[in-house]
Amino acid sequence: MNNQAMEQEDETKPLWRHVSKLRKTSGGGNNLIKCSLCDFSFNGSYTRVRAHLLQLKGEGVRSCPKVSSSKLVEFIENRDVKEKKGPSTTCIS
């Protein structure tokens, strides 16, 4: 049950700036999330926010059509700087 700690850690992560958390969803630490760039909404945690914005495959969320390759580089650079503060959240499910 360390979802709580992870979730708080997530608040500091830079990609949250590009999405809105609409509300909590039942079960686990998931939120209903809306992308500020493309208005797409989905259920999930930071893992999915990252998958959406960084156009990662395999997280069950579609990639963001509004992220250009230059923005993608910016996101990745931000992520690398900020995420050194904590352990990565690769553990889903």
| Residue 6-35 contact track with Zn ion, rule CB under 5 A, x = bound | -----------------------------x
Of 71 and 83, which has the nearer Cβ to Zn ion?
A: 71
Q: Which residue has the tokens 């990609």?
A: 15
Which candidate, 60, 5, 39, places its Cα nearest to that of 50?
60
Nearest-angstrom CA–CA distance, 33 and 19: 7
State whether residue 68 is helix, strand or coil.
coil
Q: Which stretch binds Zn ion (CB under 5 A): 26-34, 43-51, 62-70, 81-89?
A: 62-70
Sites of contact with Zn ion (CB under 5 A)? 35, 37-38, 40, 64
